[in-house]
A and B are shown apart, each in its own frame.
Chain A
Amino acid sequence: MSNKHLFLNSGFVRAPLQNGVGRYVCQLQRIVLKFCKTHGSCRGLRDFIEQDLVDFAKQNPGVVVYLKPRRHRGPVAVAEYLNGDRVWMNLANKTHSEITKWIEVLRTQQGDIASTRLRKYQYTDHPSIQGPWTPFTFKNPELNTAVLPDQKFGANDRLPMSATEQLRLMFEKQKLEEGDVKTAE
Chain B
Amino acid sequence: MNKIALLARCVPLTTKLGQVVPITIQCQKISRWVAPTLMELKKREDKLGGKKVTPRNTFLEWNLEAELFAFGKRLNEDFDSDLLLEAFTDRSYVIKEEMKQKEMNIDIKVKDNRQLAEEGEKFIKEYIQLYLEAVLPKFPQEGVASIRQHLTSEDILANVSLHLGTKDIILAAEYPVDKFILANAFKAIVGALLQSSGEEKAAHFVRDFVVTQIQGKDVNEYWAIEDPWGMLTGLLAKDNTTVEPRLIGETGKNTLLACYRVGLYVDKKMISSGFGETVATAKEMAAREALKKIFGTEDHMKPINFKLEGIPKRTGHTRHQISAS
Contacting pair B208 A30 (CB below 8 A): no
- Bound-state Cα–Cα, A68 to B102, Å: 36
A123 → chain B closest CB, angstroms? 11
| Closest A residue to B61 using CB positions | A66
- Bound-state Cα–Cα, A25 to B75, Å: 6
Contacting pair A30 B70 (CB below 8 A): yes
Stretch of B15-23, B86-94, B163-171, B312-320 lying at the A interface:
B163-171
Within 8 A of A (CB), among B66-102: 66-67, 69-71, 73-76
A79 → chain B closest CB, angstroms? 13
A32 partner residues in chain B, CB cutoff 8 A: 61
Considering only CB atoms and an 8 Å cut-off, how many residues of chain B contact the other chain? 44
- Bound-state Cα–Cα, A16 to B216, Å: 14
Contacting pair A21 B306 (CB below 8 A): yes
Most A CB within 10 A of own CB, among B39, B163, B306:
B163
Binary A-proximity of B50-73 (CB < 8 A = 1, otherwise 0): 000000100011110011011101
Contacting pair A64 B209 (CB below 8 A): no
B67 partner residues in chain A, CB cutoff 8 A: 30, 64
Contacting pair A3 B39 (CB below 8 A): yes
Q: Does A93 contact B (CB under 8 A)?
A: no
Stretch of A131-139, A158-166, A168-176 lying at the B interface:
A131-139
B34 partner residues in chain A, CB cutoff 8 A: 6-7
The contact of A61 among B39, B69, B217, by CB within 8 Å, is B69
Contacting pair B74 A25 (CB below 8 A): yes
B268 → chain A closest CB, angstroms? 14
Contacting pair A134 B163 (CB below 8 A): no
Contacting pair B74 A18 (CB below 8 A): no
Within 8 A of A (CB), among B136-161: 159-160
Q: Does A17 contact B (CB under 8 A)?
A: yes
A21-B212 CB under 8 A given contacts A3-B35, A6-B35, A135-B251: yes
Contacting pair A134 B261 (CB below 8 A): yes
A82-B306 CB under 8 A given contacts A6-B38, A17-B209, A32-B61: no
A61-B70 CB under 8 A given contacts A66-B63, A68-B61: yes
Q: Does A84 contact B (CB under 8 A)?
A: yes
Binary A-proximity of B209-224 (CB < 8 A = 1, otherwise 0): 1011101110000000
Contacting pair A131 B76 (CB below 8 A): no
The contact of A7 among B28, B209, B216, B275, by CB within 8 Å, is B28
A132 → chain B closest CB, angstroms? 8
The contact of A64 among B28, B70, B76, B275, by CB within 8 Å, is B70
Q: Does A152 contact B (CB under 8 A)?
A: no
- Bound-state Cα–Cα, A125 to B70, Å: 33
- Bound-state Cα–Cα, A83 to B168, Å: 11
Q: Does A26 contact B (CB under 8 A)?
A: yes
Q: 9 A-B residue contacts at CB 8 Å?
A: A6-B39, A17-B160, A21-B212, A23-B76, A32-B61, A62-B71, A62-B73, A83-B162, A125-B217
5 additional contacts (CB under 8 A) given A84-B162, A136-B251: A16-B163, A22-B207, A62-B71, A68-B61, A139-B249
B contacts, CB < 8 Å to A: 28, 30, 34-35, 38-39, 56, 60-63, 66-67, 69-71, 73-76, 159-160, 162-165, 167, 207-209, 211-213, 215-217, 249, 251-252, 259, 261, 275, 299, 306
